[in-house]
């Protein structure tokens, strides 16, 4: 969704801000803008469309200030237009503000400000913020150095909803004030230079030293120092965190797109995820958790809650948890879970999966679970993200920054991590034969090489993509462990290729969906469980009889029959097979979208992290 970058230092701000905006493009946006401060004048340029339009705009080179803020906007209140894009200024052009989030009481605040003589130039909720700051600033009769800070704090007190804001003022040419609530914002530290960003990748090439802001924190930045305050403006101290991510991990490294780069990174990212918790001939190791055998014995249920691909990762590991622990597992969509009054108590363990750690629905579901007394574990990829600060425990996936909107390497790392967690719990509980756990562990350790093997031959998938990229509907079928993979493959295809697709449990076909099968339609079958293979093959025969073209992804030795294409993947235990079977399907969506000439990294209407409900 929207992205924020800010700079205060001794260099010209504009190139740094544009570079940051380009790194934030993956979040999804429809306009971009920049404000810099030079002496006592705020310059402001905004453009609809890509950051490139801003970069090419007349006058950008003339912005020489060494302090500035910039923003990519994903429209919520008001259409994508220059007027609605950020930064927004107050009526007197004294304060410029960039904002991520939604101000729920903006209509009320707008009326209040209008009654106090303010005009509005945009349809946005954000425009109330600079005007509120101006309102409080002009009412403050103390003329001391804290006036700017107090005005921002008073304005924030009035805001309902979510916000990450950064404010500059022509009256204070050497400082920037920022704050957040329910929307991410970090401060980057370097001697004589400070950065702010909604996402770490935007500033990673400048600094890996980061301060994380908590809800309601306010920070006042100068080029050589940062002061942090709580919501009552009491000074607080913060630890500087060193982010392990490599700056090159946010570059394309010679690949055409981030998505294909991230697909090809999977042997490495899976290895990273494994190595943090599993070594040959050793028990699984989760030093970040403090979960005892007594606690696990007391459990009556495990809930796994997430959205989109992360939720599919939950579905892909339900079987291994249930089989190894004999504890019922429910997997739920966070946006449903939070409103359905789920049965949770202190005997329920809750796992929340979120790559970004900022997904609004997942965070709300987590808050609900905590309020009902359940223990909560976050599985996230982003250090210091909101979910990691709310949950009782956090386990990181260590997949490195995922830039493409379509999640690939984060999914495989989530599944691997949760598989190892299930084995760890089984080891603590003693609920499964250790011989079986050893076999599973040894199969997990072999996965990076097997993914590499799949990625070493992409030609057949590319050819198949060429045959189907013009289709309007594609179906994915699987049984048991292959069904969640069918769901993930279908989501991946629809989000980047805009082809309608559906996933069905193969046994459900006859209960309705088979009515949609007609001559020439494409059906993709996934078969990785020998116990279920004959059944799924029968279902595939039924669609072939009705004229369907079929692509089969399998680790079983099945006859080619009349299938159009069979992609063989390496064998592994069916409980962990989603980590392998999803890879050719990620490639299929990628190549189909490329054949259609689409922007795979930034699909229409989508944002990388969904920070509003």
The set of catalytic residues is 2, 608
Which residues are within 8 A (CB) of 198 and not within 5 positions of it... i.e. 6 or more apart? 2, 3, 4, 5, 24, 27, 100, 164, 183, 184, 185, 186
Q: Which is nearer to ligand M6R, 55 or 255 (CB)?
A: 255
Near ligand M6R in 321-340, by CB under 6 A: none
Contact map string, positions 362 to 401, toward ligand M6R, x by CB under 6 A = x---------------------------------------
Q: Does 198 bind ligand M6R (CB under 6 A)?
A: no
Q: Which is nearer to ligand M6R, 66 or 609 (CB)?
A: 609
DSSP state of 536: H
Interface segment toward ligand M6R; rule CB under 6 A; list 19-27, 367-375, 404-412, 557-565: 404-412
Query: H/E/C letters for each residue in 473-510?
Result: EEEEEECCCHHHHHHHHHHHHHHHHCCEEEEEEHHHHH
Q: Does 589 bind ligand M6R (CB under 6 A)?
A: no
* Measured distance CA(553)–CA(573) in Å, rounded: 15
Interface segment toward ligand M6R; rule CB under 6 A; list 120-128, 207-215, 354-362, 567-575: 354-362
Near ligand M6R in 484-543, by CB under 6 A: 491, 495
Q: Does 273 bind ligand M6R (CB under 6 A)?
A: no
Q: Does 308 bind ligand M6R (CB under 6 A)?
A: yes
DSSP state of 362: H
Task: Please report the sign of the dihedral spanned by the C-alpha atoms of residue 101, residue 107, residue 108, residue 114.
Answer: positive
Q: Does 413 bind ligand M6R (CB under 6 A)?
A: no
Nearest-approach distance from CB 613 to ligand M6R, in angstroms: 12
How many residues are given for the chain? 613
Interface segment toward ligand M6R; rule CB under 6 A; list 6-14, 273-281, 301-309, 425-433: 301-309
* Measured distance CA(307)–CA(314) in Å, rounded: 9
- Residue 41's DSSP bridge partners are 38
Binding test (CB under 6 A) with ligand M6R, winner from 24, 226, 315, 406: 406
Near ligand M6R in 8-27, by CB under 6 A: none
* Measured distance CA(1)–CA(9) in Å, rounded: 27
Q: Which is nearer to ligand M6R, 85 or 335 (CB)?
A: 335
Binding test (CB under 6 A) with ligand M6R, winner from 162, 169, 356, 533: 356
Interface segment toward ligand M6R; rule CB under 6 A; list 365-373, 405-413, 514-522, 584-592: 405-413
* Measured distance CA(552)–CA(339) in Å, rounded: 38
- Closest to 313 measured CA to CA, from 253, 276, 354, 365: 354
Task: Please report the sign of the dihedral spanned by the C-alpha atoms of residue 272, residue 274, residue 280, residue 282.
Answer: positive
Q: Does 310 bind ligand M6R (CB under 6 A)?
A: yes
Rg over CA atoms, the chain:
26
Nearest-approach distance from CB 315 to ligand M6R, in angstroms: 13
Binding test (CB under 6 A) with ligand M6R, winner from 85, 126, 249, 354: 354
* Measured distance CA(66)–CA(426) in Å, rounded: 56
Q: Which is nearer to ligand M6R, 479 or 602 (CB)?
A: 602
Nearest-approach distance from CB 500 to ligand M6R, in angstroms: 17
Binding test (CB under 6 A) with ligand M6R, winner from 166, 198, 609, 611: 609
Helix or strand run (H / E) with residue 14: helix 13-24
- Residue 478's DSSP bridge partners are 505, 526
Residues lying near ligand M6R in the complex (CB under 6 A) are found at 307-310, 354-356, 359, 362, 405-407, 491, 495, 609-610
């Amino acid at each position: 969704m929207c992205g924020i970058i800010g700079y205060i230092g001794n260099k010209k701000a504009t190139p740094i801000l544009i570079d940051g905006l380009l790194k934030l493009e993956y979040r999804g946006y429809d306009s971009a803008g920049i404000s810099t401060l030079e002496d006592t004048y705020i310059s402001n340029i905004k453009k609809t469309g890509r950051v490139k339009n801003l970069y090419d705009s007349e006058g950008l080179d003339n912005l020489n200030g060494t302090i500035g803020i910039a923003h990519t906007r994903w429209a919520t209140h008001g259409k994508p237009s220059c007027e609605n894009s950020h930064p927004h200024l107050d009526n007197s052009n004294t304060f410029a503000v960039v904002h991520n989030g939604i101000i729920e009481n903006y209509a009320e605040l707008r009326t209040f400000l209008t009654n106090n003589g303010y005009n509005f130039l945009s349809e946005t909720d954000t425009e109330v913020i600079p005007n509120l700051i101006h309102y409080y600033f002009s009412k403050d009769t103390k003329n001391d150095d804290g006036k700017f800070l107090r005005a921002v704090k008073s304005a924030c007190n009035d805001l309902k909803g979510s916000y990450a804001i950064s404010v500059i003022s022509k009256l204070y040419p050497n400082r920037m004030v920022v704050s957040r609530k329910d929307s991410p914002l970090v401060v980057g530290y370097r001697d004589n230079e400070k950065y702010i960003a909604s996402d770490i990748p935007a500033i990673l090439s400048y600094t890996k030293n980061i301060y994380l802001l908590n809800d309601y924190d306010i920070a006042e930045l100068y080029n050589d120092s940062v002061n942090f305050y709580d919501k009552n403006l009491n000074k607080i101290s913060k630890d500087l965190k060193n982010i392990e991510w490599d700056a090159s991990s946010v570059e394309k490294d010679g690949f055409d797109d981030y998505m294909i780069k991230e697909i090809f990174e999977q042997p490495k990212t899976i290895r990273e995820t494994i190595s943090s918790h599993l070594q040959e001939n050793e028990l699984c190791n989760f030093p970040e958790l403090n979960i005892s055998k007594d606690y696990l014995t007391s459990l009556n249920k495990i809930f796994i809650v997430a959205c989109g691909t992360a939720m599919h990762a939950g579905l892909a590991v339900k079987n291994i948890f249930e089989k190894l622990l004999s504890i019922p597992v429910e997997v739920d969509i966070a946006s449903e879970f939070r409103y359905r009054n789920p049965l949770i108590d202190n005997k329920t363990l809750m796992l929340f999966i979120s790559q970004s750690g900022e997904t609004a629905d997942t965070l709300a579901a987590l808050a609900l679970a905590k309020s009902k007394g359940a223990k909560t574990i976050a599985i996230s990829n982003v250090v210091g993200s909101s979910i990691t600060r709310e949950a009782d425990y956090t386990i990181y996936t260590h997949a490195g920054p995922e830039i493409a909107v379509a999640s690939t390497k984060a999914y495989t790392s989530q599944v691997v991590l949760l598989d190892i967690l299930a084995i760890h719990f089984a080891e603590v509980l003693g609920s499964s034969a250790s011989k079986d756990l050893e076999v599973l562990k040894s199969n997990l350790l072999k996965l990076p090489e097997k993914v590499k093997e799949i990625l070493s031959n992409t030609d057949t998938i590319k050819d198949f993509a060429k045959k189907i990229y013009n289709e309007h509907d594609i179906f994915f079928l699987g049984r048991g462990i292959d069904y969640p993979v069918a769901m993930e493959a279908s989501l991946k295809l629809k989000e980047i290729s805009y082809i309608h697709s559906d996933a069905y449990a193969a046994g459900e076909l006859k209960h309705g969906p088979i009515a949609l099968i007609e001559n020439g339609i494409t059906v993709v079958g996934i078969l990785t469980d020998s116990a279920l293979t004959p059944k799924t093959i029968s279902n595939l025969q039924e669609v072939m009889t009705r004229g369907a073209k079929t692509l089969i992804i399998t680790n079983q030795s099945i006859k080619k029959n009349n299938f159009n294409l069979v992609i063989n993947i390496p064998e592994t235990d069916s409980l962990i097979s989603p980590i392998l079977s999803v890879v050719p399907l990620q490639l299929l969506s990628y190549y189909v979208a490329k054949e259609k000439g689409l922007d795979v990294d930034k699909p229409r209407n989508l944002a990388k992290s969904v920070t509003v409900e």
